[in-house]
Amino acid sequence: MAIQNPTPSAFHRRYLFFDYDGTLRSRTYDRIPESTRHALDLLRRKGHLVALATGRAQMDALDLISPTGIDTMVADGGNSITLDGKLIWLEGMPAEPCHRLMRWLDANGWAWAVNVENKRTCITKSGAYQQAIPNPYYSVAIDPGFDIDKLDFISKIFIACPTGEEKNIDFGGVTWARYDQAQVLCEPTDKARGIRKMMELLHAPLEDVIVFGDGTNDLAMFSTEWTSVAMGNAIDELKEKATFVTNSVNDNGIYRACVRLGLIEEGE
């Protein structure tokens, strides 16, 4: 895909969507590099829209990204839209496949917890999940009488699953990605869906979108409809789908990409 650059004589607004973990935030140093912060500030100053595109829950993502000044995002893996800090749309995963998966997990002895609200909380039926994941990112409530089949909103399902063991789980069509070496996370993984909805709300053309990512949950976001930039630290499969590959997140990757795209000038 050709990269469309703005010209000095006519401003061309672009709509940039950044993954968070491994793209904006360095996984190695647990921070957003200064060159990235500088690039984001320059982009906004020039009139471009800077947004997040993340698998994280909306409220969690909004809190995490607030120091950067970003308040517009596609979160929940493409299932929510936030504009100017206001939640516009939020949808859960299809309930029945999730119900079937949790019943299968119970029947086959897998420890799990489920997120059922737009908060960093989850609920489970026993202490097995906490025993397997002693320091969970989401706070865990245990309810032995918890009725899976009464759930109508399901955001995420956490499954205690060491690397390599996911092949033994019957996900039944529920989308998932590895969260860390100890667990997998069932969640929406189509960020492109949320981007299309947002662009429709903004009455802006899809060809003006630029997305940045590094991991498996960015694969659906790397569409031929727009420009896709893979970080130097990205997985090979994502690099193969990218319009181009920039430097790693720790090596001025975002800044270098924005220079290459003609959105900022070298040395700014």
Distance CA 26, CA 126 (A): 35
Residue spans per domain, the chain: 15-91+189-260, 95-186
Fold of the domain spanning 95-186? 3.30.1240
Q: In this structure, what token pair is assigned to residue 201?
A: 């709300």
Distance CA 170, CA 184 (A): 13
Q: In whole angstroms, how far apart are CA 22 and each of 29, 67, 177, 239? A: 10, 17, 15, 14
Asked if the domains 15-91+189-260 and 95-186 are classified in one and the same CATH topology, the answer is: no
Architecture of domain 15-91+189-260: 3-Layer(aba) Sandwich (3.40)
Distance CA 230, CA 227 (A): 10
- Region of residue 84 (phi > 0: left; psi between -120 and 50: alpha; otherwise: beta): left
> What DSSP string runs through 35-95?
HHHHHHHHHHHTT-EEEEE-SS-HHHHHHHHGGGT---EEEGGGTEEEETTEEEEE----H
Per-residue pLDDT of the chain (268 residues; tens, 9 = 90+): 445 554 445 789 999 999 999 999 998 888 999 999 999 999 999 999 999 999 999 999 999 998 899 999 999 999 999 999 999 999 999 999 999 999 999 999 999 999 999 999 999 999 999 999 999 999 999 999 999 999 999 999 999 999 999 999 999 999 998 888 999 999 999 999 999 999 999 999 999 999 999 998 999 999 999 999 999 999 999 999 999 999 999 999 999 999 999 999 998 8
Q: Which residues contact 182 (CB under 8 A, 6 or more apart)?
A: 132, 133, 160, 161, 162
pLDDT at position 177 is 87
